[in-house]
Structure 1
């Protein structure tokens, strides 16, 4: 591929991925924003809301477990477009049906495909933007944050009934179509052939390597901390703090707005500080602000925590690439993130019961506790890499 074609290909990738990431950001925020409307429209208990969230994370588990292997074995472009088509089908399910069980099916497909697309973009980007992958990954997560934060603020204040849900999912389907048509023109390098002997050797190595289990726990605890904010803060704010839904949605939007800005502002530091030290530094600051904001009731501190949470997840995904052979990064990323989603599934399935028994005020304390635990685990496990500023 010539220099001119490479430049054009990078432009197509950046535009297509950015448009899609905005859509994925909006999509991922919908469960929390529409939780009260779902509760009213379908006459759900807190347990019913928990089921919606748990099913969506079950989609993460199934899609990532299979999707990582698919990305390593077949043409990346075909796999990626297939994942995008599934996400678009989920939007159609939301748009064309009015049934609680159809909603569950749609959530399973939408969240599974969304997480797989998100992870795939993170892993594909270094093949297209070889000179500055960390910067581009965080810029793309910045665009996703625009969708998440903008969606939470705008939709949270305007969506007052189930008709708003239909309108939003219709817009997301249109975004999916546009991204599909752009990415259709993109050239994505194939995963390549790996000799059987090499596969066998790596397979034996992976079976004896328990680092992936440690990474599962680290990812899983972080998922509880971040996704708990995404899924439960609005209902926590309205029930425990007495906030109006719009105001609660605005506080959540500030948290994820901070994540959006942080990914743009702090992304150059990842290359400078290196992967593991960056995660450690930002995790410590985030944990302090997260806990202080919730325990003291100073929600502005919680919003500020989002700024420093910004680079944690995309850099965690990149960290997997520092721990495993490039030919199996997609497989291991899929394995780690999918199994870690069991934390999300289990937690969100039981959180409704916990909230009903203890109240949203006490139950929400789990979120900052999870952030503190994540920070401690990461620093203890990777302290040598952190102190030595190792990236490879």
Structure 2
């Protein structure tokens, strides 16, 4: 992998590297906004469209289906049109999807617009992960966590920003969740400028020739263990954005501002953990780090549920544990499959998308049938499941003598 041709000057190489860093870091900033602005808006959407809890869970599962669809062809798209073009299309269509969501009047058009948005959201996930894997060949664990730190940074402010923007007065009327989505998703166009100016890294001829196929991954038990591990971890991470505000409002009677503040506290812990704990993953080991951090997150969530309202702060503290899991898995894939990182990332993220659909639906169904406490408990159990899968993965790698 090279960033520029051999005749490029050191100044050009440095400039290009910083442009690519801008694409990655700003890309993760807007990714965090797009993923976590929905928390405060979901109760308003539910009220406008008169949705039952299971329908809300089905909507989130439908979004995961769009994400999964994108992931299934993202690798081929990147190989066919190039990484830069894929990034540019993704940023542009995500910005346009804000208008589609904001202008949708019925539930079916609204669900279709959300589906369209999550298709491009899924492509962005793969494109940023592939770019990061090609760019960060040294201190991989730290740099992956640093990149995702920007995701956590914007995720921290997104719920409060969304809540504040929905109350803005425009022409004597509140902006509402529709206008908020339209305005905030316009930020997705920001990384297009550095993407246009930078020269993106490409696979070397040796890497392309030795590229690993999906078929080989499907025969690798380690790859499937990583899928299970990350499916639990991603469910424990992403479900918080969709369910914490609803849980606090409807279980404890909190108002939207207070509940959104707790969601921001979750992402504050989440963000700081990626900045502080990222360097430790390179030293302590990727798999050991995943077991320790995911276990801590699951314990905090379960304890917070058991303690009731006085333990609500533990639900936010859980963000510190789950934060390093995803970027550390990406670093693990880059080291485990150096000649097939693109395929490894695409296979893993696509497969966990299937399980993500099931996870969102189960949380919604459990909430509808057993109440918010039971539904939210599944998030804590998912984090503990991630830690358990990490223990199994460590034992397999230890037997191979290839612990990473």
The two structures have a TM-score, normalised by structure 1, of 0.90
The one-character-per-residue Cα deviations of 1:98-125 (angstroms, maximum 9, x if unpaired) are 3322221222222232233233223312
2: CA distance, partners of 1:352 / 1:373 = 19
1:313 to 2:326 alignment: yes
Aligned residues: 390
C-alpha contact 2:98 2:183 (8 A) present in aligned 1: no
Against the structure 1 CA distance between its residues 132 and 214, is the aligned structure 2 distance closer, same or farther, given a 3 Å change threshold?
closer
1:323 to 2:339 alignment: no
1:338 equivalent in structure 2: 350
1:358 to 2:370 alignment: yes
CA root-mean-square deviation: 2.7
C-alpha contact 1:122 1:318 (8 A) present in aligned 2: no
Against the structure 1 CA distance between its residues 350 and 91, is the aligned structure 2 distance closer, same or farther, given a 3 Å change threshold?
same
Residue 264 of structure 1: CA displacement? 1.2
The two structures have a TM-score, normalised by structure 2, of 0.87
Residue 174 of structure 1: CA displacement? 3.0
Match of 1:242 among 253, 265, 269: 253
2: CA distance, partners of 1:121 / 1:387 = 33
2: CA distance, partners of 1:101 / 1:59 = 15
2:267 equivalent in structure 1: 256
The one-character-per-residue Cα deviations of 1:294-343 (angstroms, maximum 9, x if unpaired) are 222312222122122221111112222233242x3222211221121122
2: CA distance, partners of 1:115 / 1:387 = 35
1:4 equivalent in structure 2: 11
Residue 379 of structure 1: CA displacement? 1.2
For structure 1, the 5+ residue unaligned runs are none
Match of 1:275 among 240, 265, 286: 286
1: CA distance, partners of 2:10 / 2:104 = 48
Q: Secondary structure at the match of 1:26?
A: helix
Task: Output aligned runs, 1:114-133, within 5 Å.
Answer: 114-133=121-140
Match of 1:368 among 362, 377, 380: 380
Against the structure 1 CA distance between its residues 310 and 351, is the aligned structure 2 distance closer, same or farther, given a 3 Å change threshold?
closer
1:290 to 2:297 alignment: no
Between 1:158-167 and 1:172-181, the stretch displaced more is 158-167
2: CA distance, partners of 1:299 / 1:385 = 37
Match of 2:92 among 71, 74, 85: 85
2:241 equivalent in structure 1: 230
2: CA distance, partners of 1:291 / 1:80 = 38
The one-character-per-residue Cα deviations of 1:23-48 (angstroms, maximum 9, x if unpaired) are 21111013322111101111222233
1:300 to 2:305 alignment: no
1: CA distance, partners of 2:218 / 2:366 = 37
1:186 to 2:186 alignment: no
Residue 248 of structure 1: CA displacement? 1.5
Against the structure 1 CA distance between its residues 205 and 224, is the aligned structure 2 distance closer, same or farther, given a 3 Å change threshold?
closer
Q: Secondary structure at the match of 1:347?
A: helix
C-alpha contact 1:74 1:190 (8 A) present in aligned 2: no
Task: Output aligned runs, 1:154-173, within 5 Å.
Answer: 154-156=161-163, 159=166, 163-173=175-185
1: CA distance, partners of 2:98 / 2:24 = 18
1:107 equivalent in structure 2: 114
1: CA distance, partners of 2:109 / 2:379 = 30
C-alpha contact 1:69 1:331 (8 A) present in aligned 2: no
Between 1:247-256 and 1:15-24, the stretch displaced more is 15-24
For structure 2, the 5+ residue unaligned runs are 1-7, 168-172
C-alpha contact 1:225 1:368 (8 A) present in aligned 2: yes
Task: Output aligned runs, 1:377-388, within 5 Å.
Answer: 377-383=389-395, 385=397
2: CA distance, partners of 1:60 / 1:202 = 21
Q: Which of structure 1's runs of 4+ aligned residues deviate more than 4 A?
A: 192-199, 201-204, 384-392
Residue 84 of structure 1: CA displacement? 2.4
C-alpha contact 1:280 1:386 (8 A) present in aligned 2: no
